[in-house]
Structure 1
Amino acid sequence: MLEARDLTVVHGSTAVVDGVSLTLPEGPYGLGLIGESGSGKTTVARCLSGLVTPTHGTVLFRGENVNGEDVSGEDVSGKDVSGVRRSDAYRRAVQIVVQDTEGALDPRMRVGTVITEVLRAHRMVPRGTERGRVTELLADVGLSAEHAARFPHQLSGGQRQRAAIARALAVRPRFLILDEPTSALDTTVQARILGLLNTLRTEHRLSLLLISHDLAVVEQLCRYVVVLHRGRAVEEGPLTDVLRKPRHPATRNLRDAVPRISP
Structure 2
Amino acid sequence: MLEARGLTVRFGSTVAVSGVDLTIPRGPYGVGLIGESGSGKTTIGRALLGFVQPSSGSIHYAGQELPRRRVPDSYRRAVQVVLQDPDGALNPRMRIGAQIAEVLRTHRMATRAQVPGRIRELLADVDLTAEHAERFPHQLSGGQRQRVGIARALAVRPQIMILDEPTSALDVTVQARILDLFERLRREHALSYLLISHDLAVVQRLCMHTMVMYHGEIVEEGPTERVLNAPQQGYTQRLRSAVPQLPSRGHASGSAHALRGALG
> Normalising by the residue count of structure 1, what TM-score does the alignment of the two structures yield?
0.90
Mapped contact 2:53–2:68 kept (Cα < 8 A): no
Cα distance, 1:68 vs. partner? 6.1
1:46 matched to 2:31? The reply is no
| Distance in 1 (alpha carbons) for counterparts of 2:235 and 2:103 | 40
Identity %: 63
SS of 1:36's partner is: coil
Cα distance, 1:244 vs structure 2: 2.6
String of CA shifts for 1:197-250, please: whole Å, max 9, x gaps: 000000000011111011111011111101011111000001111123212232
User: Residue 67 of structure 1: CA displacement?
Assistant: 1.7
Cα distance in 2, alignment partners of residues 167 and 110 from structure 1: 13
1:66 corresponds in structure 2 to 66
Equivalent residue letter for 1:232: E
Equivalence map 1:1-263=2 (5 Å): 1-67=1-67, 87-260=72-245
1:214 touches 1:258 (CA, 8 Å); kept in 2? no
Moved more, 141-150 or 122-131: 122-131
Structure 2 counterpart SS, 1:183: coil
Asked whether the 8 Å contact 1:224–1:236 carries over to 2, the reply is yes
Provide structure 2 residue ranges, at least 5 long, that are not aligned to the other structure. 246-254, 256-264
Cα distance between partner residues in 2 of 1:130 and 1:259: 49
8 Å contact kept, 2:54–2:68: no
Runs ≥4 residues deviating over 4 A: none
Partner Cα separation in structure 1 for residue 214 and residue 54 of structure 2: 18
**Partner SS for 1:258:** coil
Say whether the 8 Å CA contact 2:212–2:218 is kept in structure 1. Answer: yes
Structure 2 distance, partners of 1:127, 1:178, is: 30
Deviations 1:130-171 (A, max 9, x none): 111011000000001111111111111100110000000000
Q: 1:88 to 1:235 in 2, by over 3 A?
A: same
Q: When the two structures are aligned, how many residues end up with a matched partner? A: 246
Contact 2:211–2:220 at 8 Å: present in 1 too? yes
Within 2, Cα distance between the matches of 1:162 and 1:90? 23
When normalised by structure 2's length, the TM-score is 0.90
Q: CA deviation at 1:44?
A: 0.3
Contact 1:2 1:62 in 2 (8 A): yes
Structure 2 match to 1:82 = none
Question: 2: CA distance between counterparts of 1:41 and 1:119?
Answer: 30
Q: Within 1, Cα distance between the matches of 2:225 and 2:110?
A: 42
- Cα separation, 1, equivalents of 2:209 and 2:144: 29
Please state whether the residue corresponding to 1:132 is helix, strand or coil: helix
Cα distance between partner residues in 2 of 1:214 and 1:257? 11
Which whole-Å CA distance do the structure 2 matches of 1:113 and 1:182 have between them? 25
**Partners of 2:130 and 2:237 in 1: CA distance:** 45
Whole-angstrom distance in 2 between the partners of 1:157 and 1:258: 27
Tell me the CA shift for residue 128 of structure 1: 2.8
